[in-house]
Structure 1
């Protein structure tokens, strides 16, 4: 049943790996139903191997009613029929390992689907029963318990408590109503997830991305929250986020992973500030990585980027862990569009036709330039599917197509995340841009996707895809992920100049061209913004060596 690949484990691979995120329903559709699947992923794995990545992270593919695109899990040990079968998963894993690619799967431990057998058993059982103790049920306030137990808000909008019809008690859901939170103070919950970890480790997976890793433990007594943000990105985390008790869970999980060979790993999705708090998740006996959301949210500003990089490297060094560098993911506006806004780097919660529309060409130019910084830095880098094509956000999608629960729970006040989840374009002239064998696509693809299609970029030596392949090959050749960063005096305050081993990078954040600091250089790779006179145009990036 298990699939084991032979890798060189002299160095812990995850310290410098380039990891490609696949959003399964939007990557490749093999059966023509308009939704991506495991067989589609399997068929496209050679494309990822040729890109030059080391591992693939799959967003959830488990059995689910899909209320939150699979982050509402009904069975943690089964593949949803939308995506295939366990046999399809094993076939994908075997092919990936044969190509030298590791596989990381998403784990969703904060909450399950309300259709999970445990939650159905809880609803069928009385208050105080063992079945209810697996989740967080509480009596309401008010004369008849008609008010929620506290004032917590859902990340997706609205209240965080629901009282089912005919029920005496309320249950907690920090996300959608259909995503009840587990009670992680219950040993039965802890034992179940240890078993789930072993199930996938025994099949041969190489690691786990842990969803909402900062949310499993809630403050004792569930006090009211004085902070009126649903998901804290700064300051007081509130009583539902980043509680110290989460670390005992990850220490126990780490001990499980350490029983297996092959340097299995975990990466935390933890929205935690400041950086020193985040670093606690990647101490030597906990997780191996944590997503660097401060870098993901960087402004298009040299000073801001340098500060984030310095803070990140300093804090991870204190715990002996690698830093991760992430520009986009499935939960936010693609950086090729963010960088095209009037406040470049601003992180809106979606972009609709009613919002400011990004400058597509400018955003792409800056995104290409920023890649030279991201892949230059020591540590591990993540690529969100389509980023290697320079793919922009779908910013004028008709609301009738939207599926993100955030849009519906906020009555459209928050656009949501559908714009970054649109199926990939593989062929410019094919129905659904070659996403599958039919013209179906679970979200509509905008017409401008045609010029970003893989088959178009494959033929263009100046395409973003060609640029990514070149940069990732150089990153591996010069071992930049395992190197050290040294800042050098920049030609202007609006540019960053740095050295990593034998390689130098220059990134121009300013409006005016910047000259390379030396004439005796060998250009290794650059965005199209480098002139014949070695003037780096606005938004441009370059790697070079001194002769």
Structure 2
């Protein structure tokens, strides 16, 4: 980092190294950029208005052109789709709405031919209530081996009419549903931390362990490169299932006035006896051994909304998982102290266990980050946005969203992109409530809009039916007409477009080995701007994000801007000065002689 810093004119500039570059060869998942495909909304190959696996296969070359290293597919398993496929009825088959096992095999083969690795979703906390195991549990009755696969309990009070404890579903309402026994009598209750269609498995049962080891091997044998583990922090519950008077939530926004509002904590804290129990780590040690049986450097990825970051790091110890999504970064507010704090804490904490930090800004469960950053308080995690809610500033949000993405892609470690973010897509914040399909909407009694707004099908062609998502114009959720401006064909080969910015950043990230690089905080770049800048050096690249309200000028000699999230002022894009306007990120290096 000596070269770029020696080109800066400010004598007061200082650097604080917080993360060293990784030396030597490394596993692919330590620095990979992975693209999340939400199959229902990516590309529709048969015109029925629902995305499918042949549609994904037909669009893989788009991801190669973009420059990602791998893809993660949200669930495509056989399911009644009460929760968008996260209610799995058969872990070893493809739902007909998405295609067939042969289609999945063809997609895997084509992805590998193109140089893309493939991660698939695994949902081990619960099954569908249409899974054969749960049907057998209902038929077998209390005390049976079939019921022991799930968390069935007798109710409290007269005739067991009250739930076994006071737990609430993360989607709203009670976390318990009472069943009718085979003889027609009101019977036991089963636990579901999410929708009633998603009964929780009992991970104290060895049969559950055996089944999921078998499921892992089924997909590893077909060639997948890893698994994203849904609700990775929820599989084990505290013995005795004690009451917990606070609302049950797998994900919570930062609390006002806590460190979450300043350095990106999710606000999760101690979520209660149903989350982040130490016993989950025994499960992931088992799975680590299963993956080790296979060649090719396979990976496990934790979806674990836990705090503090020292708890998250436990999931990526050397004998457990390889990655864990950094939701503290995702929920960070758009301030220099918040961003610097969460980045520093993340890198230092993960370095302590020898793991990469896995950065993410958007996914299928949260409001898209350009819309979050366009709100009056930019960042955080709003619980959905709909008609009648305060609306984000779309242009400001896109401006900040591009800057946030360029900041993230310069950080050492791995990174995840959510489909459509390479187009700058905002949340669909005016989706008709009558169209909503997320069970959160009705289980919360219409108090939480849920996640449909980030799941709307992609726009590929501005003037085509359904923006090219479907040849027939059908689309399972209505796309807003304003999305024509974001369509891929309006951005490809257009200088300054969001798509071309992502392409350039991913190319430079690979060229300069930023994913395996270093991070040193740089202070004193510009007088009076310390509270406005997030500035660091990664190898020979200086990265500067201006989160303030005034432009900041970097002075030096032989400066060259590699990429910027917005056009820079005329004549201020290199040489002796680089002007960085508000809400802009630039990557700068010393110009070679």
Query: How would you bin the TM-score normalised by the shorter chain?
Result: over 0.9
- Judge which range, 419-428 or 166-175, deviates more: 166-175
CA positional deviation for 1:231: 2.6
Name the structure 1 match of 2:584. Answer: 540
Deviation of 1:520 (Å): 2.4
For the residues of structure 2 that align with 1:401 and 1:382, how far apart are their CA atoms? 28
Unaligned runs of 5+ in 2: 1-23, 252-266, 573-577
- Alignment length (residue pairs): 539
Q: TM-score, normalization: structure 2? A: 0.90
Contact kept, 8 Å, 1:227 with 1:236, in 2: the verdict is no
C-alpha distance in 1, partners of 2:305/2:566? 35
Do the aligned residues in 2 keep the contact of 1:113 with 1:178 (CA within 8 Å)? yes
Are residue 18 (structure 1) and residue 37 (structure 2) matched? no
* Matching residue of 1:497: 535
Which one of the candidate residues 166, 187, 201 is aligned to 1:168?
A: 187
Structure-to-structure mapping, 1:366-445, within 5 angstroms: 366-445=400-479
- Cα distance, 1:330 vs structure 2: 0.3
Question: 1:179, CA displacement in angstroms?
Answer: 0.1
Structure number with the bigger relative contact order (C-alpha 8 A, sep ≥ 6) is 2
Q: Provide closer, same or farther for how the CA distance between residues 539 and 529 of structure 1 changes in structure 2, counting only shifts above 3 A.
A: farther
Q: Does residue 455 in structure 1 map to residue 489 in structure 2?
A: yes
Task: Tell me the residue number matched to 1:188.
Answer: 207
SS of residue in 2 equivalent to 1:179: coil
The alpha carbon displacement at 1:236 in A equals 2.0
Tell me the residue number matched to 2:15.
Answer: none
Deviates more, 1:324-333 or 1:483-492: 483-492
**Structure 2 counterpart of 1:470:** 504
TM superposition shift of 1:287: 0.1
Residues 127-276 of structure 1 aligned to structure 2 (within 5 Å): 127-165=142-180, 166-231=185-250, 233-276=267-310
Which of residues 58, 63, 83 is equivalent to 1:68? 83
- Report the alpha carbon displacement of residue 406 of structure 1 after superposing the two structures with TM: 0.1
- Deviation of 1:230 after TM superposition, in Å, equals 2.5
Deviations, residues 100-155 of structure 1 (Å, cap 9, x unaligned): 00000000000000000000000001201000000000000011100000000000
Distance across 2 between alignment mates of 1:205 and 1:212: 20
Query: Are 2:346 and 1:312 aligned?
Result: yes
1:474-501 CA-partner distances (Å, limit 9, x unpaired): 0000000000101101421211111011
| SS of residue paired to 2:503 | helix
2:60 corresponds to which residue?
A: 45
Which stretch shows the higher mean deviation, 71-80 or 232-241? 232-241
How far apart are the structure 1 equivalents of 2:365 and 2:556?
41
Secondary structure of the equivalent of 2:556? Answer: coil
CA deviation map 1:349-404 (0-9, x unaligned)? 10011111111110000011112210111000000000000000000111110000
Change (3 A) 1:34 1:393: same
SS at match of 2:159: coil
Q: Tell me which residue corresponds to 1:5.
A: none
Moved more, 119-128 or 222-231: 222-231
Q: How far apart in 1 are the matches of 2:57 and 2:135?
A: 34
Change (3 A) 1:302 1:529: farther
Inter-partner Cα distance in structure 2 for 1:289 and 1:297: 18
- 1:485 and 1:10 map into 2 onto residues whose CA distance is 19
SS of residue paired to 1:164:
strand
- The 2-side partners of 1:199 and 1:136 are apart by 26
State which drifts further: 181-190 or 513-522.
513-522
Q: 1:79 aligns with which of 88, 94, 97?
A: 94
Cα distance per residue 1:47-106 (max 9 Å; x no partner): 001100000000000000000000000000000000000000000000000000000000
CA RMSD of aligned residues (A): 1.1
Alpha-carbon displacement from aligned partner over 1:321-343 (angstroms, at most 9, x marks no partner): 00011000000000010000110
2:69 maps to 1:54: yes
What is the Cα deviation at residue 462 of structure 1?
Answer: 1.0
| Alpha carbons 1:298, 1:305 under 8 Å: kept | yes
Counterpart contact for 1:529–1:541, Cα < 8 Å: no
Say yes or no: does 1:109 pair with 2:159: no
Q: Which runs of 4+ in 1 moved over 6 A?
A: none
Secondary structure at 1:21's aligned position in 2? strand
Q: Is the 8 A contact 2:330 2:380 kept in 1?
A: no
Q: Measure, in 1, the Cα distance between the counterparts of 2:569 and 2:586.
A: 11
Residue 459 of structure 1, CA deviation: 4.0
Distance 1:478 1:91 in 2: 34
Query: Which one of the candidate residues 508, 511, 522 is aligned to 2:546?
Result: 508
3-state SS of 1:163 partner:
strand
Q: Which stretch of structure 1 is more off in the superposition, 10-19 or 110-119? A: 10-19
Q: For residues 324 and 248 of structure 1, what CA distance do their matches in structure 2 show?
A: 22
The answer to whether the 8 Å contact 2:496/2:567 transfers is no
**Match for residue 4 of structure 1?**
none
CA contact (8 A) 1:226 1:238 kept: no
The question of whether the paired residues in 2 share the 8 Å contact of 1:328 and 1:384 is answered with yes
The match for 2:20 is none
Q: Which residue of 2 aligns with 1:6?
A: none
Q: State which of 310, 320, 324 in structure 2 corresponds to 1:286.
A: 320
Compared CA separation, residues 517 and 153, structure 1 to 2 (3 A):
farther
Q: How does 1:117-128 map to 2 (within 5 A)?
A: 117-128=132-143
Contact kept? 1:529, 1:536, Cα under 8 Å: no
Distance 2:111 2:249 in 1: 38
1:528 partnered with 2:547: no
- Give the structure-1-normalised TM-score: 0.97
Distance 1:13 1:405 in 2: 36
Which 5+ residue runs of structure 1 have no aligned equivalent?
1-8
